[in-house]
Structure 1
């Protein structure tokens, strides 16, 4: 009974339902939610991935046809994965932390929550660093002050963090924290006016970069010389750039009014927004040697520079809001499971300040490339138990009244996830899969297959059918 009372108190705390399902009366308009996903999907990683596929920085890349298939298959996989998780969230109204109880257990769910909390904190720090870097490029270093030099720690080739870069990260990190503090409505308020404009800017600038590089024929001639990355690795990079967002989708889709709204949201992000950024980044890296179109705009005069910096900042605002908002929804339930409840807004402030500090000290510049590769290999299996339990084992039928009476630990979810994550890393770094298959997605499929087998062999099936009290 105390759990139910506590849940109601938290549900009413700020309207974000951290520890309770979202009721139908609190669901958000479909258009608002779709625009959140357009804005959510607009993040520099899309351009960065395009640059990786184009061999930016002297790394091995892929030819245009391979890049197309890597983006199509990677984003297609993310669309399916996000939609499946989103349908479960929309049908139940439950957050990732709550819905995970059915496949991981009431305290076993802390495993995926801690993983997602670390991932979203890393993303928040990375995006804050991205914004700071752009403003630093725009402002320059008139102070002449260097706050931190990565070369002093052995990271040669990483630009020093100037005072201007550091202050830009601190200022915008705190701004992002402030708006995430106010929840889903604040995220919508920023995304709706900004999302269409930034998409148009990206497309126009992509065309300009292509033209500056000599046109389409020159681009093809240069791009067809690329090679060495491999389709499987390329898909893993694409998936890694957004796997955390796909899983985070549960916490956004629980506010949707229909399954149709879920599908439209996933399509808006992974069919409309992100592939465009992937291709713009690829074209820019090949045509003008720069995947980041805002960096390119900075050299084209003050007017374009101002437009680029403002568009960049506002577009990343929605994404970083979502990272911080979801982070609080992962940390809060973990603390509550140990009878140490903390208000969602306090968690946002703590994570926002911590992420801002990390982001201002070159986390993006030093660790980001490895960060998304590891994500692409190890993180997809996290969603495996959720998909397998909801769609294969329970056939889409979750009894919300049993939310607070789940077993403490559900071993099928914990074991299958750990095996899947280990296999993803093994396939990526030790034993490459045949035919260039993507490590993370194959590990996810294995996890989905393992879960029902382990579930039937252990006591979970007896508990769910009433055989264990």
Structure 2
């Protein structure tokens, strides 16, 4: 492999697989995951939920391991690795832009949600009124400062947060099963029309983006097997726990919201901690990956990415304080849906064409036509079959739900890339 980028990490920066696993666990334990679990619990028997969730996370962990091992081999983040399959300009101007905008946007939304909820709960507990905009700025800055410590900051935060969140989730689960909750669960008959495929699709969907950018974190792994261990052990147990907690809570308590349940149980301060920490662990990763992608887009190096992380976090925090991001959720969902199909060309190029040999990985100059066409085709497939266009009124006629949108996009992108690579004889750099 040639010296591709200033983003290659040094050997002394490599981490134990358990540190990377904790980062993944902190990312998967989130309020959106509880919501997905709550929806699944309302439409499927718990045993089917478990199977669907397990299969869904196994699918995500499989492709995130492949991308993560590329990052481990090369020491490069996703936005830079994309230059091998999409060309340097494709990776820099297309992929980096999409990742940066999506991560900054979601950082702002999470900071806004955390700020709004914190202001309301803190006001109820103390009688002190904190303006929502001020609360959003405070928590946005706190989350941003954690992200500016790069991977070490993520690692240290999750060493504390993941065990704490696990304890809170288990305690809430035990509380929900008391006072007749166990009987409600035993006699529960689902009333929804959710299928096993829906369960798999929803599980994949809520973590598909994280799987696609796994090399941002797995580049710190010491060897390929560490990537696999950190992905499967970091994601599946935590993911199963949080989604099942959401499912059980929705059945026994009528809500998946841990904070509401803790407040009703007389533990409002613990509810406040749960709210803040679940937002914090997820949002630090948004700022970190957003900063990396912004650095690539602006042609900066790894050292300068600390500054671009600051820029990304400040932009997201300001947008959150202004309260304008809520109306952009559909746009951000569209951008997020475009990311997983990127995995297709990258996997095909590195693992099939180059047979997983690091020495054969090279970035291509400009825009690489097979990779760009494969990405566009895969992204369109993911949007058409994944329900994204159903949220956009003037494109709703294109909505054709089928199987799992992100996976459809990845598979189609892989196939198109393989075919186009045979046809197109572009020279490698």
TM-score range, shorter chain: 0.7 to 0.9
Specify which of 302, 306, 317 is matched with residue 345 of structure 1.
306
Deviation at 1:400, TM superposition (A): 7.7
The match for 2:30 is 43
Rounded to whole Å, the distance in 1 between the matches of 2:146 and 2:333 is 30
Instruction: Give the direction of change, closer, same or farther, for the CA distance of 1:291–1:321 in structure 2 (3 Å limit).
Output: same
Specify which of 425, 446, 455 is matched with residue 412 of structure 2.
446
Rounded to whole Å, the distance in 2 between the matches of 1:267 and 1:216 is 30
Give every structure 1 segment of 4 or more consecutive aligned residues whose post-TM-superposition deviation is greater than 6 Å. Answer: 141-145, 363-367
* Cα shift readout 1:192-247 (whole Å, capped 9, x = no counterpart): 122222112212212221334x333422534x232234443443322221112112
SS at match of 1:205: helix
Rounded to whole Å, the distance in 1 between the matches of 2:111 and 2:273 is 14
> If the length of structure 2 is used for normalisation, what is the TM-score?
0.87
Range with bigger deviation, 120-129 or 101-110: 120-129
Rounded to whole Å, the distance in 2 between the matches of 1:409 and 1:278 is 40
Deviation at 1:328, TM superposition (A): 1.2
Retained in 1: the 8 A contact 2:184–2:251?
no
Specify which of 367, 371, 392 is matched with residue 352 of structure 2.
392
Rounded to whole Å, the distance in 1 between the matches of 2:264 and 2:38 is 19
Rounded to whole Å, the distance in 2 between the matches of 1:286 and 1:440 is 29
Structure 2: tracts of 5 or more residues without a match: 388-397
Instruction: Give the direction of change, closer, same or farther, for the CA distance of 1:342–1:188 in structure 2 (3 Å limit).
Output: closer
Structure 2 residue 399 is matched with structure 1 residue 414 = no
**Where do residues 348-427 of structure 1 align in structure 2 (5 Å cutoff)?**
348-360=309-321, 374=334, 378-399=338-359, 402-403=362-363, 406-427=364-385
Retained in 2: the 8 A contact 1:39–1:318?
yes
**Where do residues 202-241 of structure 1 align in structure 2 (5 Å cutoff)?**
202-212=169-179, 214-222=180-188, 224-241=189-206
The match for 1:201 is 168
Instruction: Give the direction of change, closer, same or farther, for the CA distance of 1:362–1:62 in structure 2 (3 Å limit).
Output: farther
Rounded to whole Å, the distance in 2 between the matches of 1:371 and 1:298 is 34
Structure 2 residue 216 is matched with structure 1 residue 251 = yes
The match for 1:148 is none
Rounded to whole Å, the distance in 2 between the matches of 1:53 and 1:325 is 30
Aligned length: 417
The match for 2:150 is 183
Deviation at 1:276, TM superposition (A): 0.9
Instruction: Give the direction of change, closer, same or farther, for the CA distance of 1:378–1:344 in structure 2 (3 Å limit).
Output: closer
Deviation at 1:399, TM superposition (A): 3.5
SS at match of 1:236: helix
Rounded to whole Å, the distance in 2 between the matches of 1:366 and 1:220 is 41
* Cα shift readout 1:38-68 (whole Å, capped 9, x = no counterpart): 223222221121123245xxxxx44434433
Structure 1: tracts of 5 or more residues without a match: 8-18, 56-60, 146-161
